[in-house]
Amino acid sequence: MAAMETDAAPLTLESLPTDPLLLILSFLDYRDLINCCYVSRRLSQLSSHDPLWRRHCKKYWLISEEEKTQKNQCWKSLFIDTYSDVGRYIDHYAAIKKAWDDLKKYLEPRCPRMVLSLKEGAREEDLDAVEAQIGCKLPDDYRCSYRIHNGQKLVVPGLLGSMALSNHYRSEDLLDVDTAAGGFQQRQGLKYCLPLTFCIHTGLSQYIAVEAAEGRNKNEVFYQCPDQMARNPAAIDMFIIGATFTDWFTSYVKNVVSGGFPIIRDQIFRYVHDPECVATTGDITVSVSTSFLPELSSVHPPHYFFTYRIRIEMSKDALPEKACQLDSRYWRITNAKGDVEEVQGPGVVGEFPIISPGRVYEYTSCTTFSTTSGYMEGYYTFHFLYFKDKIFNVAIPRFHMACPTFRVSIARLFW
């Protein structure tokens, strides 16, 4: 037995079989694979095994089999080339790239003009020049996104959504980095804030705080809200839209591509629909979606403006004699304090729509609250076209409205 132990060859890395070693290496991250290259010649050879890099190319750079074939490169080479270009964004690239890919794929058949308005990606030196111009570092996830698409041309419709009421229209473009830098703020109330979007009709922008200042957290995305009661023009409250650029952009894209934001006449409308906010009475279904309008709202004085879009639809299986016309509406409006207001009147938005089997009628209206939230519910009164003396009520489901989280300006707090 002792003789056998003496004769056995020592176990070394070179003597281990290849397949188990490759299996072990397949669990390593790209950093560990690279480090293996410096351990030994055997590990260097094994860690260069091309299939090991396929997972990393897909995970970090979203490179498809088709792209690999087109570029005629091995997986490791593709990984290294991509890393040399956008490696500083490796923690953000996959999420941002997926959002852009999903958004373009969804919009191309629905809003082709919007996709055509997107600009080519910015270069690293362009982003570096902007940092030198504004004297601040840009967030890496912001830079990553602008390497993919440098915003869009200033056109209508804007990529970041639209809103249309009878006397108010908004359409927000995603600014290119040079235009954004031109709007970089150093004044009190918006210090170190870079505009992300712009609406040529309202002058409205969403901003990102590139530094923590004046009570803002670094990288927060927000709508500005000047304090209308302030003597100090630096008193600017903020409606917070996202904790980071990635949070803001990917959340928006998710709402668009899931169908949560409706596409109406080649534009994205930022109405939010609660799937439970639907009521059916007989053959008629009423559903509601809502939207908060920061440009028409203020924290001081408390005035929170909401718009809602109502869809009234009669089942296509309804009998023809069920055709009817809307006569009046009744609303019960309740704010966060429990105060109730009742409203009753003829028609809706000055119209008396006729509903028949398979037909849909949609309209938009608006309301305001002195509290940050509230809800509405009620009913419509209809009469049958074939039995004009027969009337009935159709329920409107309760729908809630709440403004985004906001932060009060520190300029006002220290008066």
For residue 268, give the H/E element and its range.
strand 267-268
Q: Using CA atoms, how far apart are residues 264 and 291, in angstroms rounded to an integer? A: 15
* Mean model confidence pLDDT for the chain: 93
| Cβ–Cβ < 8 Å for 260, 154 | no
The answer, yes or no, to whether residue 6 has pLDDT greater than 60, is: no
Q: What is the value of pTM for the model shown?
A: 0.90
Q: State residue 228 phi and psi, 5-degree precision.
A: -70, -10
Residue 76: count of CB within 10 angstroms of its CB: 20
205-227 pLDDT per residue, tens: 999 999 999 999 999 999 999 88
Residue 282: count of CB within 10 angstroms of its CB: 13
The answer, yes or no, to whether residue 231 has pLDDT greater than 90, is: no
The answer, yes or no, to whether residue 4 has pLDDT greater than 90, is: no
The answer, yes or no, to whether residue 127 has pLDDT greater than 50, is: yes
Is omega for the bond preceding 157 within 30 degrees of 0, making it cis?
yes
pLDDT confidence band for 1 (50 / 70 / 90): very low
For residue 246, give the H/E element and its range.
helix 245-257
Task: State in Å, rounded, how far the first CA of the chain is from the last one.
Answer: 90
Q: Residue 396 corresponds to which amino acid? A: I
Burial label for 31, CB within 10 Å (0-12, 13-18, 19+), is: exposed
| Cβ–Cβ < 8 Å for 312, 373 | no
Q: Comparing 115-119, 232-236, 261-265, 345-349, which segment has the lowest mean pLDDT?
A: 232-236
| Cβ–Cβ < 8 Å for 104, 115 | yes
For residue 122, give the H/E element and its range.
none
At a CB cut-off of 8 Å and minimum separation 6, what does 302 contact?
370, 371, 372
| Cβ–Cβ < 8 Å for 413, 401 | no
pLDDT of 336:
97
- Tally the residues of the chain: 415
